[in-house]
Amino acid sequence: MKDIIDLDRYPLDTPGSDRWNALVHEAQDGLRRDGLFNFVGFMRPAALDQTLAHVHPLMTTASFHHSRSHNIYFKDEVEGVAPDDPALAKVETANHTLCHDQMQDTPLDRIYKWPAFATFLAAVMDKPELHIMDDPLAGLNVLEYRAGEALNWHFDRSIFTTTLLLQEPSEGGVFEYAQNLRSDDDPNHAGIAQLLRGELSPTQLAQSAGTLNVFLGVNTAHRVSTVAGDTSRIVAVLSHYDTPGRRFSDSERMGFFGRVA
């Protein structure tokens, strides 16, 4: 894996070593403090170039254009919130998606299937173990945001999200978040309405291609702002679960990928 990941800087291949333990603690400190951590330069430039050479033509000819209007909760109804409450204001999300079966034998596929990667993430998340998905389409996905497209405000369903930025956009496409906008005890619908009206200033996260990011998004609202210019934003999403055998339903596959197999 040393030709794909900068293992000199990020020694995921030596679990239990002093340097590995220090890296785990560094990541955990970032999660506690900021709700995220970034490993800049995680993916080596040559592996990044190889991945993009594979991704670019597929995005043009074989990607699924995912577009939807939604509220921040991805739910039609929210208990205790009136249908016309500004916290339920609709936003637009659009991107182009490649599935795991389209990324086989690429550097991204090798990272995702590498047991040491899951072992490291499990340690950071204080889990006994983590597993990749047993799904031909989900688990590893590559998303492209072209000019005029965005990932709009939302909360995540999963406790943490792992991404690897493959290509920086020429304009826009900034990752923005409002940390702990709600909590398990306080849904803070008023604060959410303020965010959607542009009355709160979210934190902006600068990222460079090759950066690994792990983010806690269940109670932190976040988005990728609208992309502009000639160069799109391309990011890989790598999903892990604490139980093996996780798969999407056919309806979820159709919704996210436009096909079931």
Q: Is the pLDDT of residue 64 over 90?
A: yes
pLDDT at position 136, please? 95
pTM for this entry: 0.96
pLDDT at position 199, please? 96
Residue where the block lists tokens 């080596």: 44
pLDDT at position 5, please? 98
Secondary structure (H, E, C), 182-200: CCCCCCCHHHHHHHHCCCC
Q: Give the separation between CA 179 and CA 188, rounded to whole angstroms.
A: 13
Parallel, antiparallel or unpaired: strands 175-178 and 221-224: antiparallel
The answer to whether residue 140 is domain-embedded is yes
Share the mean pLDDT of the chain.
Answer: 96
The answer to whether residue 207 is domain-embedded is yes
The answer to whether residue 13 is domain-embedded is no
Quote the number of domains for the chain. Answer: 1
pLDDT at position 79, please? 87
195-212 pLDDT per residue, tens: 999 999 999 999 999 999
Q: Give the separation between CA 5 and CA 107, rounded to whole angstroms.
A: 9
Find the CATH number of the domain harbouring 67.
Answer: 2.60.120.620
Q: Give the separation between CA 182 and CA 34, rounded to whole angstroms.
A: 15
67-121 pLDDT per residue, tens: 999 999 999 889 889 999 999 999 999 999 999 999 999 999 999 999 999 999 9
Task: Supply the range of the domain harboring residue 229.
Answer: 36-257
Q: Which residues pair with 144 in a beta bridge?
A: 96, 234
The answer to whether residue 181 is domain-embedded is yes
The answer to whether residue 20 is domain-embedded is no
Average pLDDT over residues 229-237: 97
Q: Give the separation between CA 66 and CA 146, rounded to whole angstroms.
A: 12
SS3 69: strand
The answer to whether residue 196 is domain-embedded is yes
Q: Which residues pair with 238 in a beta bridge?
A: 140, 162
pLDDT band at 22 (very low <50, low <70, confident <90, very high): very high
Six token digits for residue 29? 């400190």
